[in-house]
Chains A and B, each alone.
Chain A
Amino acid sequence: MLELATDPGVSSLMLSRIQFAANISFHILFPTINIALCWMLLFFKVRYATTGDDNWLRVYRFWVRIFALTFALGVVTGVTMSFQFGTNWPGFMETVGNIAGPLLGYEVLTAFFLEATFLPIMLFGIERVSDRTHTIATALVTLGTSTSAFWILSLDSWMQTPAGFEMRDGVAYVTDWWEVIFNPSMPYRLTHMLLASGLTAAFFVAGISAYRIYKGDPKHSAKLALKFAIITAAILAPLQIIVGDFHGLNTLKYQPAKVAAMEGIWETEKGAPLLLFAIPDEETRSNKYEIAIPNLASIILTHEMDGELQGVNDFPDAAPPVAPIFFSFRVMVGTGVLMLLTAGFGCWYFVRKNQYPPWLLKATIAMTFSGWVATLAGWYVTEIGRQPFLVSGVLRTADAATQIPSGNIALSLAMYLSIYFLLLVAYISTLFVMANRAIRLEVNNLHVSDMQTDPAAVNGGISEKQFNLEKQA
């Protein structure tokens, strides 16, 4: 231990990994909501244009403000990400810069500028441009967020399952861009992520709309948003299970060590059981407290009773840490099951009974951020599962890290963590402040656009004085 503590290389590596994990975990929360929320906003806008129903405009106006807030957080944390490659992972760019560089470059060229330029028209342009131009701007921002996901997922998939390149003097050179971009795991990973975004946004919209109804929002628009979000979730959840299964098979083919860790299989075996619960132990290289269903892992992954699955021990020096992957995978699947149940019940009550019972309302509020939990857990499975490599079989994480003194990294890490903590608290509390404000607007029968023009409305449909009185009371 003493050696570890005094070796600057090792602690710089650890701190860099923690910092990158913290940055990317915090960053991904916001695009995950916004990729799909933008499609939903486009849907609301088009529905309003085709039906003329004012409720759709109310839904649009409420959610576009939340979209803007989420977008701002995504932008600032994304700018931070773009610097991390150079500051903390110089070996990454020096080894695979020929591939990662252009993919990231195309993201900036085709996505960032599009989003950043048309978002203001989407937000503030409603009085300055025609309705059609405004809808087009919304569509372009949607296109931008999804294009951004395309390039990032392409790069991440390439790091998982690299293809279309050759190594010369320790540097990767591209032989075929098509193979680089559409590498073997890319279609599965992209679809899985887009559906994850859809589910995250659906539960986010459903949760906050349920909160509004629960707190006594009298208007139809909150119920409309809830119904839309729950039906969307009920469609996407089963789809995600199917796509997740395909993605798993793809991973088994290209990254068997990751699947072994996900399933908690140490020794290669035939007819492997599905572990519902266990505590994997790296010391003894075995599991404690197993609760298992015999043969099920083999059936799911090989579609045969006695299908052979490789164990972690088959990959000396190239196996990821088992416990974090094992648990993250179960958190992801568990949250997914809860999502399926909530959406299923919700859909049934809406379609069959045309009502939404109070217990389900509370459950939906509890599920507001379930998408974040599932998405983060899923990313931990896939990213930790690639260890000890940064690019599978090409570049080890340890070889890419910076040589900067660990004190500097510790300092920046502490700074990032405190800012992120502050922002997360501010973000979540502001969401509910905005929801409460919207309720007060609806109670007082003001239009959503009054939220800014009417000075009283800024404090939620009542004047500052009343607001303070209310607080004292």
Chain B
Amino acid sequence: MIFPEYDWLPLAFVSLMGLAFLIYAILDGYDLGVGVLLPRDNQAQRDSMIYSIGPFWDANETWLVMAIGLLLIAFPSAHSYILQGLYLPTAIMLAGLILRGVAFDFRTKAPSRFKQKWDLAFKLGSLLATLTQGYMLGRYVTGFEETNAALAFALLSAVCVTAGYCFIGSAWLVMKTEGELQIRAARWARYSNLLMALGIVAVSISNLLLSDIIMDKWLGFPQVFVLVPTGLLLGFLFLLNHLYLKRVPLENDLGCWVPFTSASIIFVLCFCGLAYNFFPYIVWQKITIWDAASSRESLWFIFVGAAIVLPVILAYTAFTYRVFRGKTRKLNY
């Protein structure tokens, strides 16, 4: 036990919340990425791309509501501190999510002359959401400091997160589509793979420079023995993606799931790194998870429910992915 004098419930909740954010980043990450990548020049490809995420985007987005909900339930004071600190980017992100969420439905139901406009709204909405999410992550990581360095870091983070989402989005398309679109997606994936690798290196270095505490956390002993293999694994995954994507499609579409799987692993690794940096704070150097936690009765009440319901949610989520497995087909209803 590292903190024997503390209650374990806040720890359980911060883990659950972290898990929800991670699942969100992977799942909504790919459908936001697909939205950002929508090409201007090809209606048929746009249709296929939107069909590929059609059955999933709504449930994917629910993980954001879940993550924010857990923050609100378990750490109310941190919740209001963080959301007030991010007031305007939150509002802009929500505008983006509103636009893309409705564009998905309106594009096929409104008069057909409006279809292209709704497609554009879908793309712009996705882009607004990814940029603001990256920006917010950057602001959050630097503890809402108002210095130029911190703001520049937030902007860098906006670009990197968008690149990451584009990468996992194009990896999703490599897995779910065929033909010309698949080849095009592989090209997008190769570029965003490089951009993301650069981004991760840049963010890691500036993170180390931003704070001595983080420097000590990573470069001391024995942590360095975890850091080095993690770095090597990341490097291997980037290289594997790069080499695989150059050859898409392989015979019988062999290994079309490789980019998506390695993208997910990269997301998990980056996320774990971030969590390790942050622990035990929920607002960097201001509020720890134990300071911000709700009352024990309330946490216990929701914990019991979550323990029962979450496995059910994961099960039926898996069921939907099974129903809509394989290459994307047209969505009829």
Contacts and interface: CB of A to CB of B under 8 A. Distances in A.
Contacts of A171: 295
A19 to B, nearest CB: 10
A112 B102 contact: no
A102 B55 contact: no
A315 interface: no
B172 to A, nearest CB: 16
Contact of A129 (B87, B309, B317, B323): B323
A468 to B, nearest CB: 10
Nearest to B103: A72
Contacts of A177: 301
B320 interface: yes
B112 A87 contact: no
B269 interface: no
Contacts of A409: 87
B135 to A, nearest CB: 15
Contacts of B317: 113, 117
Interface in B75-100: 76-77, 79-84, 87-88, 90-92, 94-95, 97-99
Interface in A271-321: none
A402 interface: yes
- Chain A contact residues: over half helix, strand or loop, or mixed? helix
Interface in A397-450: 402-404, 408-409, 411-412, 415-416, 419, 423, 426, 429-430, 433-434, 449
Interface stretch (B56-64, B176-184, B206-214): B56-64
A120 B55 contact: yes
B68 interface: yes
A403 B81 CA distance: 11
Contact of A430 (B83, B87, B110): B110
Interface string B284-322: 000000000011011001100110011001001101100
A51 interface: no
Nearest to A125: B323
Nearest to A174: B297
Nearest to A69: B105
Nearest to B66: A108
B309 A123 contact: no
Interface stretch (B137-145, B221-229, B230-238, B325-333): B325-333
B53 to A, nearest CB: 10
Interface string A89-133: 010011001110110111011101110111111011111110000
B101 A72 contact: yes
Interface string A62-83: 0011001100110111111011
Interface residues on A, range: 35 or more
Contact of A98 (B95, B112, B295): B295
B255 interface: no
B278 interface: no
B106 interface: yes
The listed residue with most B CB atoms (<10 A of its CB), out of A112, A126, A453, A458, is A112
A433 B110 contact: yes
Contact of A69 (B55, B59, B106, B319): B106
Contacts of B98: 76-77, 79-80, 419, 423
Nearest to A120: B55
Contacts of A75: 58, 61, 101
A464 interface: yes
Interface string A157-184: 0000000000000010110010000000
A449 B332 CA distance: 7
A97 B105 CA distance: 35
A412 B298 CA distance: 32
A106 B332 CA distance: 33
A459 interface: yes
B72 A93 contact: yes
A73 B294 CA distance: 32
A334 interface: no
A254 interface: no
B279 interface: no
B276 interface: no
Contacts of A64: 333
Nearest to A70: B105
B65 interface: yes
A218 interface: no
Given A102-B298, A124-B331, A452-B330, A411 B88 contact: yes
B69 interface: yes
B110 A120 contact: no
Nearest to A124: B331
B200 to A, nearest CB: 28
Given A80-B94, A80-B98, A102-B73, A434 B84 contact: no
A348 interface: no
A124 B332 contact: yes
A117 B59 contact: yes
B333 A113 contact: no
Given A79-B94, A404-B84, A452-B333, A433 B109 contact: yes
A470 to B, nearest CB: 13
A85 interface: yes
B305 A415 contact: no
A104 B305 CA distance: 12
A83 B89 CA distance: 12
B282 to A, nearest CB: 13
Contacts of B331: 123-124, 452
Contacts of B324: 120, 124-125, 128
B64 A101 contact: no
B56 A120 contact: yes
A86 interface: yes
Contacts of B56: 120
A120 to B, nearest CB: 4
Contacts of B92: 415
Contacts of A452: 108, 330-333
B54 interface: yes
A404 B87 contact: yes
A402 B84 contact: yes
B69 A104 contact: yes
Given A76-B101, A173-B297, A108 B323 contact: no
Nearest to B115: A458
B70 interface: yes
22 contacts: A75-B61, A79-B98, A80-B97, A86-B83, A87-B90, A87-B91, A90-B84, A102-B305, A113-B316, A118-B320, A119-B58, A121-B320, A121-B323, A124-B54, A126-B332, A173-B295, A409-B87, A412-B87, A412-B91, A423-B102, A452-B332, A464-B112
**3 interchain residue pairs of minimum CB distance:** A90-B80, A86-B83, A97-B76
Given A97-B72, A411-B91, 18 more contacts: A76-B102, A86-B71, A86-B80, A101-B69, A101-B74, A102-B298, A104-B73, A113-B317, A117-B313, A117-B316, A128-B323, A171-B295, A416-B95, A419-B99, A423-B102, A430-B106, A452-B330, A464-B112
